[in-house]
Every structure is written in C-alpha cells, then in structure tokens.
Chain A
C-alpha cells in the first residue's frame, strides 16, 4: 500500500514536470532577473499551483494542469497585447525612470520608485561604477536593473576614439559539442563538414574526440579536445 502511494506520487510528479516544462517553454525564455512583473507573477504562481496536486494526491491532477495552462494562455495573450499597445505595456510593466540626468541625481524620481541613496549606490557598484560623478545618465528599468551611461571623458577608449582601424571580428559559434556535430550552425556560418574535417585533420582528431569546437565564417577555429580517459 505504501509502495502504491509512492508510485502514484512519482507518476504525478513526472506528469506535472512535463506539463510545467511545456507551459514554461510555450511562454518563452526569460531569465528571472529579466522578467517583467507579470511574467514573474505567472512563474511564481505556476510553481505554487504545480506543488498542490503533488502534495495532496486526492486533488485531481487535471485541476493543476488546467490552472497552469490558463496562466500560460493569459500570459501569452497579455504579452501579445502589450506588443501592440504601448498604453497596456505601460500599465502592465510600468516604465523606465531616469534617476540620474546630466550627472544630476533626480531625487523626486528616486522617491517615486521608493529608492534610497544606498540602493542607488549599490546598483551603481553592480555596474562597476564607484564614483557617482562619472555618471551622465542612469535609468532604472522596469525589471529593476539600472542602465548606466558614463560621461564621455569616463567612457572606455574605443578604436574609433583612437582613430585605429580594426577589422570586424566575426562571431564564433559552436560547431561540435561533446563529440557531436551541430548541423544548424554549419548553415549559419556558411561552412561545410569538409571545412571541419580539414581543421580536425590538422589536430589529428575526429569529431568524437572533440569536447568543444567553435568556428567563424572565415573558418578560424578553436578546438578543445576531450580529456583522455585514464
């Protein structure tokens, strides 16, 4: 009898895991820190709802699944509506607020978002800014992050500032991971398997010997081989 209860819990947990994963995937990818308030609410609610039928096996599993998918549907429809309507987006997500403008801290803006000076200093330190006088603009985003624009004289030097001509560095993408070839990347980089084989031949190894291989459009490659088994 106890074994049956455990088995039921195991099966319900597996089923709920599948449906929660489907729900989260359908909602789209966002990291916790980048979520809008409504997305965070939905994510927290989903986790709470998913736990109920797992803890209480007398609750129908379908109740939890329907609740989760209803939240997912509402979230998708609201995000779609927010894409189309700026007003709705402002209502749901709020708007960014300029905290520092032209090097001057806007105290009324800080009071509006209930931010203390200590909060501001901490957020600036998080952006590697330890001196307030170096900041030209600081914008508090709706997800709580602080975007910082330093004053021109404090910004890192760029090749353009130094009037140095540099060539664009193409993007490296992984073409082999853990001994397996990633076919989609070949198309994006406009390279062929022959190009990869040629590079691997130079290193005296095959695809299955490679832990990570990245390449760019110019066929420059970085290869990390797998550790040899002792």
Chain B
C-alpha cells in the first residue's frame, strides 16, 4: 500500500512538473515573441536600441528558468541571436529583421518541441 501511495505522490509531482513546464514555456514564449514583434515594428533608432536591450535583458532573466525545461543548445542559439540583434540595431534594417525572424523561429521551435504533438513524441 505504501508503494501505491508513493506512486500516487510521484504522479502528482510529475503532473505538477508538466503543468509548470507548460506555463513557464508558454509565458516566456509569449513575452519574448511579443518583444521581438515590438522590436520589428519600432522605427525610431533610439527606441529600437532600447527595446532590443530590454528584450536581451528579459531573455537573460528567463534563461535560467527555461534551462530547467529546455535543451541548453537551443537556448544558447537564441542568446547568440539576441546578442547579434543588439549589435545590429541601428544598423542594417534588413539584417536586423532577418535576425528577428531567426529568433522567432527558434522560439517557435522551443514551443513546438516542448508541446505534446507528433513531432515531439516521435
């Protein structure tokens, strides 16, 4: 009986972890994705730089928590892209937008890979 109780306790812990995984990844995805969108739409150079820096800071703050649930390689790639964005802001708009698209793609990859679907299961 004690083993059944232990199994039920473990099930509840696993459920909690799965739910927290969903919540944290969804929240981080939405926050960062919206920030990238705002960066793309911002025309003013100064404002663009500020938003890019803000996005970088937000990513750095959430990176630790995300690394508990997400493969570290993909997080490193996003970090690199965000750093490139910061250096590109105020320079070539084409390259900047291209890098923004890259960041959004990688964020989509995280969301798709961490969700329950055919791609992630198989």
A residues whose Cβ falls under 8 Å from a Cβ of B:
26-28, 57-62, 66, 69-70, 72-73, 76-77, 79-80
Which chain A positions have C-beta within 8 A of B3?
A: 26-28, 76, 79-80
The answer to whether A69 touches B14 (Cβ under 8 A) is yes
Chain A facing B: main interface SS: helix
Does A73 lie within 8 Å of B69, measured CB to CB?
no
Interface residues on chain B, number (Cβ under 8 Å): 17
Does B73 contact A73, Cβ atoms closer than 8 Å? Answer: no
Question: In chain A, what residue has the closest Cβ to B18?
Answer: A66
Can you list 6 A-B contacts with CB-CB less than 8 angstroms, sorted by A residue number?
A: A26-B7, A26-B10, A59-B71, A69-B13, A73-B7, A73-B11
Could you say which of A57, A60, A69 contacts B69, with CB atoms under 8 Å apart? A60
Of residues A27, A60, A77, which shows the largest number of chain B Cβ atoms within 10 Å of its Cβ? A60
Contacts of A69 in B (CB 8 A): 10, 13-14
4 closest Cβ pairs, A-B complex = A58-B72, A76-B7, A26-B6, A58-B73
Contacts of A62 in B (CB 8 A): 17, 68-69
Known: A59-B72, A60-B69, A73-B7. 18 other contacts (CB 8 A): A26-B3, A26-B10, A28-B3, A60-B67, A60-B68, A60-B70, A62-B68, A66-B17, A69-B10, A69-B13, A69-B14, A73-B10, A73-B14, A76-B4, A76-B7, A77-B7, A80-B3, A80-B7
Query: In the complex the two chains form, what is the Cα distance from A28 to B1 in whole Å?
Result: 12
B residues 1-40 near A (Cβ < 8 Å) are 3-4, 6-7, 10-11, 13-14, 17-18
| Residues of chain B within 8 A of A58, CB atoms compared | 71-73
Q: Is the interface of B mostly helix, strand, loop or mixed?
A: helix
B6, B18, B67, B68 — most chain A CB neighbours (10 Å): B6
| Chain A residues near B68 (CB-CB < 8 A) | 60-62
B16 CB to closest chain A CB (Å) equals 11
List residues of chain A with CB within 8 A of the CB of B11.
73
CA distance A72 to B68 in the complex (A): 21
Determine which residue in B3, B11, B71, B73 has the highest number of CB atoms from chain A within 10 A of its CB, and name it: B3
Contact A72 B67 (CB under 8 A): no
A61 vs B10: C-alpha distance when bound (angstroms): 17
Q: What is the CA–CA distance of A142 and B7 in the complex, to the nearest angstrom?
A: 25
State whether A57 and B14 are in contact (beta carbons under 8 Å apart), knowing that A73-B7, A76-B3, A76-B6 are contacts in the complex: no
Chain B residues within 8 Å of A57, by CB: 72
| Bound-complex Cα distance A58 to B7 (A) | 29
C-alpha spacing A72/B14, complex, angstroms: 12
Q: Which residues of A contact B67 (CB under 8 A)?
A: 60
Q: How far is the CB of A5 from chain B (nearest CB, A)?
A: 12
**A62 to B73, alpha carbons, bound, how many Å?**
16
